[in-house]
Amino acid sequence: MENHGTAADGPRERILSAASTLFYRHGINATGIGELVEVAGVSKRTLYQLFGSKDELVAAYLRRMSASRHLIERCLDRADLTPRERLVALFDRPRPTFRGCPLHNAAVELTEPGHPGRPVIVAHKRAFLDRLTDTARAAGARDPQALGHRLFVVFEGAMALATSTDDRNAFDYARPVALALIEEAVPGADG
């Protein structure tokens, strides 16, 4: 991982880039290794040399997604917003290509016990909950943990419902719920 840009990193990067597109758009189980190597422009042999198995490639894909700057929850890192504004920004309508949380979608697909992608998903959601709770604390919430948990479930609901109904107006349903939760939790918050 420390040798960015060397010839050895080229195929790894191309494979992960292809995986990020294909696994998210078409699903993990619907994407075959043949399609992946074709898009990445590498041989199957190279893919297996670098990742060992499809399961390990999926885990690497999920680690990349977990760190992606395109995730909605990255708004909690925005320095141009107040902590309260960061919480509210979670419920802005996502981009039109949004097809749910890539980590959640993988949780739906990876049903085998012991799949190496599962701990990546759980760790991502746990870190997100911690970040939410920290942001709630910075916003002045009386009980940051309670507000964190509640916004967590509402945010996951907006993402899931947008996927189920193929309609981003799920975020419009979620937003007033989040605003009410924030108002109730933060003394003196103004709408």
Name the residue with tokens 């709408």: 191
Q: In the complex, what is the shortest distance from the CB of residue 122 to a second copy, in angstroms, rounded to a whole number?
A: 6
Q: Cβ(61)–Cβ(136) under 8 Å?
A: no
Q: Which residues contact 78 (CB under 8 A, 6 or more apart)?
A: 86, 89
**By the rule CB under 8 A, 109 interacts with a second copy:** yes
Task: Spell out, one character per residue from 155 to 174, where the chain touches a second copy: x when CB under 8 A holds, - when not.
Answer: xxxxxxx-xxxx---x--xx
**Tokens linked to 87:** 């919480």
From 13, 21, 25, 67, residue interacting with a second copy (rule: CB under 8 A): 25
From 105, 132, 168, 186, residue interacting with a second copy (rule: CB under 8 A): 105
Q: In the complex, what is the shortest distance from the CB of residue 73 to a second copy, in angstroms, rounded to a whole number?
A: 13
Instruction: Note the residues at the interface with a second copy (CB under 8 A).
Output: 25-27, 29-30, 99-101, 103-105, 107-109, 111, 118, 121-122, 125-126, 146, 149-150, 152-161, 163-166, 170, 173-174, 176-177, 180-181, 184
